[in-house]
Each structure stands twice: as structure tokens, then as C-alpha cells.
Structure 1
Amino acid sequence: MRPLLELLSDARRRVLIHRRAIAAVCAGLAVWIALHTLTAEPPAGELVVTAAHDLTSGSTLGADDLTRTRFRPGSTPDGSFGSPERLVGRTLLAPLTRGSPLTARQVLGRSALAGYPDDVAIGLRIPDEDAAALLDPGDRVDLVASDPQGERPTETLVHDAVVLALPEPDPDAVRLGSEGAGRLVLFAVPKVGIEHVAAMGSSHFLTVIWNR
């Protein structure tokens, strides 16, 4: 019978041999996984247009506002866009955070001005939020500007402006006090004199008067 010490030594030797073999197999497997990860094809899915950075409601979308993100199969939002070109120049109706997908419900459609060939869309803030809350898309109103300092007479900026949309306010901007006073409303107004309307809208108190 072999001495007990010799048997224990043989057993220890076998364990060490197997341990080295297992370690070698694990190392090889780790290398294979790393190489497979580096050379693997990108996961299948669909590229969807998303916000390149935080966007505020009422903003006009530019190419630098948009990017594309790959979504897993079956997770693409309804009404999403695959091409940024389809969104450039359109107006955002709701605030978006970076990486959020844009959908058809969140932008003003190109057909919104189809019935107003001589008009353009402009976003103006109505300080009286209670009055603005009574507006509905399709309403026709006069826009009256009043000088908050009382130094200039009241002026009717636009007759028969058409309400196109009421973008959703940005809750984060409202909480931080950076959203601006009043409610943002998108109107269709004549192209002629649009610069004056924009300037007065940013410096004067605007009131809406329903005319029909």
C-alpha cells in the first residue's frame, strides 16, 4: 500500500493540473467572447428620428435638433419618422428631452397651412392664460398689442388670425421659471408684416378678440 503522504501528493498534483486546464479554457473563452463582440454585426432594428438635445414646445426644428437612434424590433413608436429631412422646418407642439422619439402627433403638420396660401405659422405668447385656454384650433381671432409701459397706443396687429395649435407647456421650464409668461399659441397670420408681428409679440401684451 502506498504511503498516505504520497497519495495526498498525487491528489494535489492532479488538482493543480486540472485547475490550470480549467483556467486555460476560461481564458480562451473570454478571448473568444471579446472578439465576437467586436466583430458582431449591429443588432437588428429600425432607425428612428429622436431629439438631439432638449427641445421646447413651439420651436422650429432644424437639422441640428435631430438625430437617429436604433430601436429594438417591435419597440418603434407609432407615428415615428425615419428621416430627419421630413421634420426640418416643422413646429414642435410638445417639449421633448434628449433622445425622445418624435412622432406625428408632436409636430405641426405641413398640411396645417394648406388652406392658407398667403399665411405663415408663428408662435406668440398670450399673457392671459385663462383666455388662451378658451382657444381651440380653427378659431379666428384678432390679435391686439398693448404697450406694458403705456407709452404707445394699442394696436391691432392681425385681423382674423387662425389658431393652429396650442403646444403643451414644458413642465420643467415652468417649474424653473424659464418658460416665459403666458401660454404659447400657434397662429396662421399673413406673410406681409410678419416681422412687425413677431417684434410686437415679444415686447407687448397680446390680447385675443374672438370675431366669429
Structure 2
Amino acid sequence: MLAHRRGLAACCVAVAALATLRTVAPPPPPVVETWVAARDLPAGTALTASDVELAAYAVGTVPDGVVAAPAGRRLASPLRRGEPVTDARVLGPDLLEGYPGRTAVPVRVPDATVVDLVRVGDTVDLVSADPSTGRAATVARDAPVVALPPDPEGVSGQVASGRVVVVALAPDDVDDVTVAAVQQFLTVVWSR
């Protein structure tokens, strides 16, 4: 026992020093778990549980727009292994979600002021006017507005006249509205 007392004393001092360091050391920083790509993924991938994994990020370092539940979402652009899944990397909900059996059709309404009154979710009728005959006809009824995209500037820097409205049409109305959009002027009307 006497022969080993120096070794025992050294071990006791080492254990005491480690215990002191552990009690004095600051706690680990708080982390947030975020979904990241488990491997390189190409654009268009429909994410499954095996495509993503949780990674710990220090609070304040998580990118904006992280997707809380990425499984089932489709990638709009490629994603590298370890890259967080954000709203900028996945496609938004389908335009026709909630409108089964309908077709999304963009139509240009010449009067942009009329389109300023329209909101996504409104139900409108589409009326075409033939400038050569002066006749008007309703080409679609009860069409939900599913999008109001901003008009980009043209190549020459001029904005095309009117605004685009994307409506969810019944299959029987698609042909009539498409022809009217090309040959005549369309406008939206609200009715009850």
C-alpha cells in the first residue's frame, strides 16, 4: 500500500481536477434540430424519409425558411448532402390543391385595374368581348382564382398590357376560354 500511495494520490488529484473542470465548464450551447439532405439529391426529387435526416444547429445559425416536415415535398432545385431543406428549395403547394378535376388556365385580362380587385380564392365568371361585333358572351362560370402572378417586364423594358389571372376551370370550359383569350378580350365578373 505504501509503495503505491504516490500513484493513488496522483489518480485522486487527476479525478478531482477533472471533476472541478466539469463543474466549471459552461454547458453546451442550445441547439435546434433541422432537416438536411442525407445525400446529394437532384431537382424534382419527391422527398422521402430516407432522403433527409436531422442535424443539430446552434440557435441563431439555422437558415430562414426551414421546412418542418419535408417528406412528401418535391425539390425545385438540387440539394447537396448536409444542406438544410428550406422553402426556397421545395415547390409550393399545387395550384389546383382543393380543386379536383379542374385545369389551371392563365388568361390575360386587358384591364389591369379590374385584376387589382381580384383576390386568390375569389370565384369569378369569365366574359369575352368580340371587338369586331360588339358582342359579349360568358365563356366560364364559377371559376376559382388560384394565382395572380406579377407581370415581368418585357425584353424592351415595357410591360405587356393587362394582367394575368390563373383560374381553375372545369374541363368543358378550357377550350372556349383558351380560344376567347387569343381572339377576343376577356374580363372577370363576380356574380351570386
The TM-score with structure 2 as length reference comes to 0.53
Which amino acid is 1:151 matched to? Answer: T
Distance 2:41 2:136 in 1: 51
Is 1:141 aligned to 2:150, yes or no?
no
Cα shift at 1:145: 0.7
Distance 2:114 2:134 in 1: 23
The residue matched to 2:41 in structure 1 has which SS? strand
Cα shift at 1:110: 4.6
CA RMSD in angstroms, aligned pairs only: 3.0
Which amino acid is 1:69 matched to? Answer: P
Q: Residue by residue, what CA displacement relative to the aligned partner does 1:2-28 show, whole Å, maximum 9, x if unpaired?
A: xxxxxxxxxxxxxxxxxxxxxxxxxxx
Cα shift at 1:201: 1.0
Distance 2:130 2:171 in 1: 23
- The answer to whether the 8 A contact 1:166-1:184 is kept is yes
The equivalent position to 2:97 in structure 1, one of 88, 97, 111, is 111
Cα shift at 1:69: 3.4
Higher helix residue share:
1
Q: Residue by residue, what CA displacement relative to the aligned partner does 1:96-117 show, whole Å, maximum 9, x if unpaired?
A: xxxxxxx31xx64452423xx3
Is 1:161 aligned to 2:170, yes or no?
no
The alignment of Structure 1 onto Structure 2 pairs a total of residues equal to 125
Is 1:207 aligned to 2:187, yes or no?
yes
Cα shift at 1:198: 0.2
Q: Residue by residue, what CA displacement relative to the aligned partner does 1:37-95 show, whole Å, maximum 9, x if unpaired?
A: xxxxxxx9643528xxxxxxxxxxxxxxx9853547436532634xxxxxxxxxxxxxx
The TM-score with structure 1 as length reference comes to 0.49
Match of 1:184 in 2: 164
Which amino acid is 1:47 matched to? Answer: L
Q: Can you give the 5+ residue segments of structure 2 that lack an aligned partner in the other structure? A: 1-37, 45-74
Cα shift at 1:209: 1.1
Cα shift at 1:152: 5.2
Which amino acid is 1:130 matched to? Answer: T
Q: Can you give the 5+ residue segments of structure 1 that lack an aligned partner in the other structure? A: 1-43, 51-65, 82-102
- The answer to whether the 8 A contact 2:95-2:147 is kept is no
Match of 1:170 in 2: 152
Distance 2:133 2:122 in 1: 31
